[in-house]
Amino acid sequence: MQRYAVIGYPISHSLSPVLHNWAFTYLGYLNKTYEALAIKKEELASFMQSNSNFFLGFSVTIPLKEEILKFAQKKSSVVQEIKAANTLVKTSKGWFAENTDVYGFLTPLKNLGLKFNSALILGAGGASRAVIYSLKLLKIKEIYITNRTYDKAKKLAQEFHLIPIVWEDRNKVKPELLINTTPLGMKGKLLKETPWPYSFQSIKVAYDLIYTPFWTKFLLAAKKEQALALSGLNMFLYQGLKQFKLFTGQEFPLAKGLLVVKKALGHINL
């Protein structure tokens, strides 16, 4: 058997095993299998030293996306710039690290065919680095970042030449593109929360990185005010597509993949 896995913690809710195992079967890779492994930051080094040999590739998720770079012999240019990877592929020269989150984030946005003059990123955690890099690629002129802990927003703003905003002042920004990278609105304790309890008047597109639930409170409010709403499931699907290509050299059919993950989320009837 050729083994692949998603590594991170917590991992039980990851949709990656559903997507990759379905795609392996669908495309006839009957000797490939994909599993979820709960690995904490402090366990990563011993796992990579003793067990990684049994695997041909990894999806890497929270909280390991930065830590994993220590174990990569080669890094893509995107990974070198962002300093975070979500994919590790075995090569004859060791582990190659790639970041398919950028492609995952950008593709659904590009598919809308719109131009943006300004964007506001809500949150300054690990996920926001791929978002910042993506917005830079789109050459958006004004990029704002706001975070509950202002210092983190300020640091990222300095590193990437963005405009930092105090969390409590975020509604003073009138962006055309608004992106949520915080867990506010995620299934569980934060389901009823929203990172944007304000008007969506100036906003053309609201993009949530959350995909459980498919429609968050944030996105439902955006739709009500006629903004376009993008669920994080789009990003999940495209990052998975690119990752699968790195694992196999092939792509799975996108529309079928979307149905598979929606069904897994219980949203088949949307």
User: For ligand ATR, which residue of 76, 99, 134, 182 counts as binding (CB under 6 A)?
Assistant: 182
**Is there binding between residue 155 and ligand ATR (CB under 6 A)?**
no
* Member of 127, 130, 206, 227 binding ligand ATR (CB under 6 A): 127
Pick the stretch among 9-17, 25-33, 146-154, 235-243 that binds ligand ATR (CB under 6 A). Answer: 146-154
For residue 63, whether the previous peptide bond is cis, meaning omega lies within 30 degrees of 0, is yes
Q: Looking at 65, 75, 217, 262, which residue is catalytic?
A: 65
Residue of this chain nearest to ligand ATR (CB atom): 125
Half-sphere exposure of 136 (CA within 13 A, CB side): 17
- Annotated active-site residue 65? The verdict is yes
| Residue 126 beta carbon to ligand ATR: minimum distance, rounded to whole angstroms | 3
Q: Is position 121 an interface residue for ligand ATR (rule: CB under 6 A)?
A: no
Asked if 181 interacts with ligand ATR (CB under 6 A), we say yes
Considering the rule CB under 6 A, would residue 152 count as an interface residue with ligand ATR?
A: yes
Please tell me whether the peptide bond between 195 and the residue prior to it is cis, using omega within 30 degrees of 0. Answer: no
In a 3-state reduction of DSSP, which class is residue 198?
Answer: coil
Q: Which helix (H) or strand (E) segment is 16 a member of?
A: helix 16-26
- 91 part of the interface to ligand ATR, by CB under 6 A: no
Among 78, 132, 67, CA closest to 105: 132
Asked if 147 interacts with ligand ATR (CB under 6 A), we say yes
Helix (H, G, I), strand (E, B) or coil at 94: strand
Number of shown-chain residues binding ligand ATR (CB under 6 A): 15
Q: How far is CA 203 from CA 119, 153, 173, 246, in A?
A: 9, 21, 10, 35
The answer to whether 62 contacts ligand ATR (rule: CB under 6 A) is yes
Residue 10 token pair: 């917590």
CA gap 228, 243 in Å, rounded = 27
Determine the distance from the C-alpha atom of residue 260 to the mean position of all C-alpha atoms in its chain, rounded to a whole number. Answer: 18
Interface with ligand ATR includes 125 (CB under 6 A)?
A: yes
Which of 183, 228, 246, 258 is close enough to bind ligand ATR by CB under 6 A?
183
CB of 246 to ligand ATR, least distance (A): 22
Of the pair 108, 185, the CB lying nearest ligand ATR is at 185
Q: Which stretch binds ligand ATR (CB under 6 A): 16-24, 49-57, 96-104, 144-152?
A: 144-152
Helix (H, G, I), strand (E, B) or coil at 19: helix
By CB neighbour count within 10 A (0-12 exposed, 13-18 middle, 19+ buried), where does 23 fall? Answer: buried
Q: What are phi and psi of 54, to 5 degrees?
A: -80, -5
> 134 vs 248, which CB is nearer to ligand ATR?
134
Supply the residues annotated as catalytic. 65
Residues that bind ligand ATR in the complex, under the rule CB under 6 A: 62, 123-128, 147-149, 152, 181-184
